[in-house]
Structure 1
Amino acid sequence: MEFPTSYFKLIEACITTPMLSVSFNGGLCGYFSASKGLRHGDPLSPYLFTVAMEYFSCLIHWAAIDNQVPYHSRCKELRITHLCFADDLLVFTNGSIRGVAGINRVLTQFYKDSGLRCNPSKCELFCCGTPDEEQQWISAYTGFPLGSLPVRYLGVPLISGKLTSADCSVLVDKITARIRTWQAKKLSYAGRLQLVSSVITSIMQYWMALFLLPQKLLKEIENICNQFLWGVGNRSLRKKALVAWKYVAWPRNEGGLGIRDFKKWNQACVIRHVWNLLAESGSLWVRPGPYGISQGSQQGLGYGGRF
């Protein structure tokens, strides 16, 4: 990447001009100049991080072209070697010794050029279909510990099969824990209604927009919310609800309480994925080739299916 000299001078000024001080016993102990790094909150910091990861992307891309890092079988057609978001990085390969060695060379070269090194205590290896002996060798070679599948990324599970209720247990646990803290307080009926319709739905929003959640899971969450809604300061989630959830989820002008119907809400949220497939926006997430969906086809995606 050929940056102008003025760009390097700008970065150097951002690093060397700030003055720092140490607070000791409530007082500042003089000031000193910084020699490297950016201060917290510097607007230039995200751009420098993006530039660094762009260079890493080029390194691993060149390694894949030279066949030093073979593609994972699920990533070969799309030519995906890695995904990065903020300071998280996922690297994919076919699990061969050549692929692991190639990734290690890329990380070493990136460290020599940028000074950025992977922290082994914050890295994990996830192997599937690899013999235990090879997994142990890869772990010893890279210095990264072995992790267990399924893995959670950005708060949600990464799985290739159909989503099950067990995969979403963390969502149920989060909702249950939040409700139990509320049950310790003397809340009115209107207060409980507001918490269910605003706080609980905000917790579910992220999951609703990503997955077609299992019917069993949605039913369980409905029961938990309904029992809390009709409880009177009790500490148990097993109190029988006075009105069925399907009536509670009716619109107010039809006699309901205006709370969203979770199943219909989930279907409405994932409709955007179907639109992305049909709109052919070109994003990695909507390319249909590897999954056998021909260009221009409009195959039905029933509830409970997967993309």
Structure 2
Amino acid sequence: MFKRATELGIIRQLLPSRSIPPISLYVDDVTLFCHPQPDDIEVVKAILQLFGRASGLHVNFAKSTATLIGCEDDTVMPVIESLGCPIVDLPITYLGIPLTIRRPTTAQLLPLLDKVAARLPIWKAWLMNRAGRLELVKLVLSAIPLHQLLVLAPPKRILRMLKRIQRGFLWAGRAEAKGGHCHVNWRRVARPKSLGGLGVHDLERTGMALRTRWLWFSKTDERRAWAGLGLQFSAEEQAFFFASTYTSIGNGHNTKFWEDRWINGRSVCEIAPLLHACIPKRQRKSRTVVEGLHAHLWARDIHGVLGVHEIDQYLLLW
């Protein structure tokens, strides 16, 4: 990851693409990804030294770390030693977010719980009325997790523990509250005020809405540095996005023929679900409208044996 797209472009030009697993070189709040080859490492080191001479901000390699991603320690250890960086295993923390090749576990997200619990003013709670505690829940306890909810979906257990802390402080002024202290069901509390709630964030739904922003940006803003990287989203997040949006066709280059809702606000999956199941996943993800409509190329994407119902939906789609 780079702070500026220009830096990313320079690295891409200097480092040829290879099938070798990359390593992550972590420098303060900047992460560089490169292949564990002597030439690549030397180029990265030279660029960082050049940046230091130009800006006066020199990189301290002894305080930086290198993380291996999908490669053996024995084969790349001599290469990494030329940098002088200590090697740190995954997961690592970047801007307060745990980085790992798998979904973060409950144990890896426990520091988030500790951070929220540390902001509880226990000794002041009895001096605050319930309205004051409500504002603290909305502005502090609900705001701290938003940074991580932007990029990952925490396990259900973490969300339940965060909700328990918020509920306990609101009703009892401490980290936990028994059932008798809770005057209103928390799902009602988490509703907007216009719907009879208190306006506290429902963290699960808020997180889904925040992560859906990336789907929206990927469709509407190609200038983003991460555009085209193929971000991963859960089936629930994708279903929520497609149920909430539709596509107005322009030139058809950015609209997926099989996935997007571009046919009078409906998708092929909604119009012809059995036919949609006959399309290979790779074609569903890549075929654009302009490609599919050219010489009826979309019909060639259909594979497998078609029954009566599939043929009926094919004619309907045609």
TM-score in terms of structure 2 length: 0.60
Unaligned runs of at least 5 residues, structure 1: 1-49, 76-80, 301-307
Contact 2:91 2:98 (8 Å CA) reproduced: yes
2 CA distance for matches of 1:288 and 1:54? Answer: 14
Match of residue 153 from structure 2 = 212
Q: CA separation of 1:247/1:123 partners in 2, compared to 1, >3 Å: closer, same or farther?
A: same
Contact 2:25 2:64 (8 Å CA) reproduced: no
> Aligned to 1:230, which of 164, 168, 171?
171
1:262 is aligned to 2:203: yes
2 CA distance for matches of 1:188 and 1:173? Answer: 24
1:262 positional shift: 1.9
Contact 2:192 2:199 (8 Å CA) reproduced: yes
1:123 positional shift: 0.8
2 CA distance for matches of 1:254 and 1:115? Answer: 55
Q: CA separation of 1:280/1:73 partners in 2, compared to 1, >3 Å: closer, same or farther?
A: farther
> Aligned to 1:296, which of 242, 246, 255?
255
Deviations 1:186-213 (A, max 9, x none): 2322221111011122212322333333
1:91 is aligned to 2:32: yes
Q: CA separation of 1:289/1:262 partners in 2, compared to 1, >3 Å: closer, same or farther?
A: closer
Match of residue 248 from structure 1 = 189
User: What do you get for the CA RMSD once the two structures are aligned?
Assistant: 3.7
Please give the residue correspondences for 1:44-55 in structure 2 after superposition, counting only pairs within 5 Å.
none
1:183 positional shift: 1.0
Please give the residue correspondences for 1:56-71 in structure 2 after superposition, counting only pairs within 5 Å.
60-64=11-15, 67=16
Match of residue 122 from structure 2 = 183
1:215 positional shift: 2.7
Please give the residue correspondences for 1:1-307 in structure 2 after superposition, counting only pairs within 5 Å.
60-64=11-15, 67=16, 88-111=29-52, 116-179=57-120, 182-185=121-124, 186=126, 187-232=128-173, 234=174, 237=176, 239-240=178-179, 241-242=181-182, 243-252=184-193, 254-288=195-229, 296-297=255-256, 298=259
Number of positions where the alignment pairs a residue of Structure 1 with one of Structure 2: 233
Say which SS state the counterpart of residue 142 (structure 2) adopts: helix
Contact 1:93 1:99 (8 Å CA) reproduced: yes
1:105 positional shift: 3.7
1 CA distance for matches of 2:6 and 2:192? Answer: 53
Contact 1:175 1:200 (8 Å CA) reproduced: yes
1:119 positional shift: 0.7
Match of residue 265 from structure 2 = none
Contact 1:277 1:288 (8 Å CA) reproduced: no
Identity of aligned residues (%): 26
Unaligned runs of at least 5 residues, structure 2: 233-252, 262-318
TM-score in terms of structure 1 length: 0.62
Q: CA separation of 1:262/1:90 partners in 2, compared to 1, >3 Å: closer, same or farther?
A: closer
1:154 positional shift: 1.6
Q: CA separation of 1:290/1:82 partners in 2, compared to 1, >3 Å: closer, same or farther?
A: farther
Deviations 1:213-252 (A, max 9, x none): 33332222111111121115x5x53544524311222344
1:290 positional shift: 8.6
Match of residue 277 from structure 2 = none
Contact 1:59 1:106 (8 Å CA) reproduced: no
Q: CA separation of 1:189/1:131 partners in 2, compared to 1, >3 Å: closer, same or farther?
A: same
1 CA distance for matches of 2:19 and 2:54? Answer: 26
1:177 positional shift: 1.2
